[in-house]
Structure 1
């Protein structure tokens, strides 16, 4: 435990839960009047890829835009993005995207095949597209039945469409509507490897293989935000204290299978008699988890620079935190 910083008791509890597969971790427990933070393997100032927790941020921004009358849930992608009118994706409504019920695949066909295989074998970034390139790929995508289907592609388009509706870019929208207001100075999005900061960690696979950072303009709304643990703890506390925008994104509006329900990206389920609102994240070399018991006013965050799941440890930590 010599490499631990912060709350050593918290670190010991989480380290025991995670086992030996996670050599670089940061963790926080949050209540409305108290925050505990700890970590090991990297400095407290290190920033992690938060992965699909970025979708939760996009959900807040989408609902914020609806609440302010910038757009409607029935607004289509074709009304905001330069998609061909005969492109099936152009007719997809934003509200369907926010609930993973758009009929879009997880990824467009152009990103599958050889590129995904190369990522699996050598750890290269399978993303990296510009928004223009993603819009070009959309022309080849077929829209399926509007059933629950998790879609990274859908959330990429959703986030950029919400930004276009406000005459800005997604990174700028994140800063203006959420990060700057909450003082989240570490939050940023890297469009290319050259945009990474000196504090940016690189992740590893479960077997310890190095993975390239997942950077890219298009990826941003679905999985491109980076953050320190301190800022993730502050973000969780702001959600609990209702100090940020678009909070009805947390409220479930549709089923998502296996007893879970979904709002705008955020998932709710019952765990040991308590209703938990949460989202996880996974990139080539990172796994993350943020969960809250909103009624009790508590939350927990785990960030790991290894691609082994931290979900079970996250739910366990939140359960212990509320005991």
Structure 2
């Protein structure tokens, strides 16, 4: 068996490999505690850029909360107030309901094209997204809104939220991400991939659990919900900024509503889970070829990021690792 290369802290890299086992041949991890920060990877160098999937939503939650603090938008701002939507159900959806997955919008827009793209993902590994912002707005106009106030996870909703916040500030989502988050914090490896031409030299290709290569999930419309790439180092720096309260949009981490039963609440995208007497603030991500997990114990000042180049979930491993590095 070929030896797997370890990068960064070798003890942590080997520990991550033991935790994830052979299911995840390429992965990276960051552990932040009051005693210090440790970063490691195996199978790919530390500077490798991963698709972070729905961790993009957690970042959009920060940008939304930052816009609230700056007075750019309000929770009661309607989509139709900031995006060019005609008189349709989606135009009357509030940004606040989008941020907590309570808008009534479905997970994906309705239509046969969505079904076809999903089937092509399963059979051929192609990107099921890729729409432009204009196409997203057309989809939103055709999609009925269900019960407002009922929590239902929505990729479509977070796509619209991110573009709405950007439009309200007179900018685009990639520019908003750069100007309010990545440039101020020095996150050079965190960026939006609208097309495959945006992929940089350090971008790795994801695979399924069985090792089949998958196309990159890119798209202008998808960006706020799932088309950001990042590195373990960048997410380490952002985790540190969240824990020391120097990051923008920190109120995104504060729970505002119950989400799923008595143990789970939600802020702006971020989930807050009561687990073994502690509040864990977290989000996960998954694309056709990648999986990710990002969690904080804010009271203890600890945080963990796991990025994998395989689409199998790393949620359980993230919770276990955060618990292991958090003082009792």
Q: TM-score range by the shorter chain?
A: over 0.9
Per-residue CA deviation, residues 171-213 of structure 1 (Å, 9 max, x unaligned), is 1001100111110001111111111111101100111110000
Match of 2:210 in 1: 207
Q: Which runs of 5+ in 1 are unaligned?
A: none
Cα RMSD of the aligned pairs, angstroms, is: 1.0
Q: How many angstroms does 1:54 deviate by? A: 0.7
Match of 2:162 in 1: 159
Match of 1:90 in 2: 91
Q: How many angstroms does 1:19 deviate by? A: 1.6
Mapping 1:204-283, distance limit 5 Å: 204-258=207-261, 259-283=263-287
Q: How many angstroms does 1:256 deviate by? A: 1.1
In the alignment, the residues of structure 1 paired with residue 4 and residue 229 of structure 2 have an alpha-carbon distance, to the nearest angstrom, of 26
Q: How many residues align?
A: 322
Match of 2:183 in 1: 180
Give yes or no for contact 1:88–1:143 (8 Å, CA) kept in 2: yes
Which residue, 119, 122, 125 being the options, matches 1:120?
Answer: 122
Mapping 1:103-142, distance limit 5 Å: 103-110=104-111, 111-142=113-144
In the alignment, the residues of structure 1 paired with residue 109 and residue 12 of structure 2 have an alpha-carbon distance, to the nearest angstrom, of 41
Give yes or no for contact 1:160–1:221 (8 Å, CA) kept in 2: yes
Per-residue CA deviation, residues 227-255 of structure 1 (Å, 9 max, x unaligned), is 11100111111100111111111000111
Give yes or no for contact 2:284–2:292 (8 Å, CA) kept in 1: yes
3-state SS of paired residue (2:158): helix
Where has structure 1 moved over 3 Å in runs of 4 or more? none
In the alignment, the residues of structure 2 paired with residue 197 and residue 190 of structure 1 have an alpha-carbon distance, to the nearest angstrom, of 9
Per-residue CA deviation, residues 279-321 of structure 1 (Å, 9 max, x unaligned), is 1111110000010000110100000000000001000110111
In the alignment, the residues of structure 2 paired with residue 50 and residue 217 of structure 1 have an alpha-carbon distance, to the nearest angstrom, of 16
3-state SS of paired residue (2:56): helix
Which residue, 67, 70, 82 being the options, matches 1:68?
Answer: 70
Q: How many angstroms does 1:2 deviate by? A: 4.7
Q: How many angstroms does 1:275 deviate by? A: 0.9
Q: Which runs of 5+ in 2 are unaligned?
A: none
Q: How many angstroms does 1:135 deviate by? A: 0.3
TM normalised by structure 2 equals 0.96
In the alignment, the residues of structure 2 paired with residue 138 and residue 2 of structure 1 have an alpha-carbon distance, to the nearest angstrom, of 46
Q: How many angstroms does 1:12 deviate by? A: 2.2
In the alignment, the residues of structure 2 paired with residue 44 and residue 264 of structure 1 have an alpha-carbon distance, to the nearest angstrom, of 29
Which residue, 305, 314, 317 being the options, matches 1:310?
Answer: 314
In the alignment, the residues of structure 2 paired with residue 6 and residue 273 of structure 1 have an alpha-carbon distance, to the nearest angstrom, of 32
TM normalised by structure 1 equals 0.98
3-state SS of paired residue (1:66): helix
Per-residue CA deviation, residues 37-87 of structure 1 (Å, 9 max, x unaligned), is 1111111111001111110111111111111111111000000111012x1
Give yes or no for contact 1:32–1:241 (8 Å, CA) kept in 2: no
Q: How many angstroms does 1:97 deviate by? A: 0.2
Q: How many angstroms does 1:32 deviate by? A: 4.4
Give yes or no for contact 1:32–1:240 (8 Å, CA) kept in 2: no
In the alignment, the residues of structure 1 paired with residue 264 and residue 96 of structure 2 have an alpha-carbon distance, to the nearest angstrom, of 18
Give yes or no for contact 2:104–2:147 (8 Å, CA) kept in 1: yes
Match of 1:53 in 2: 55
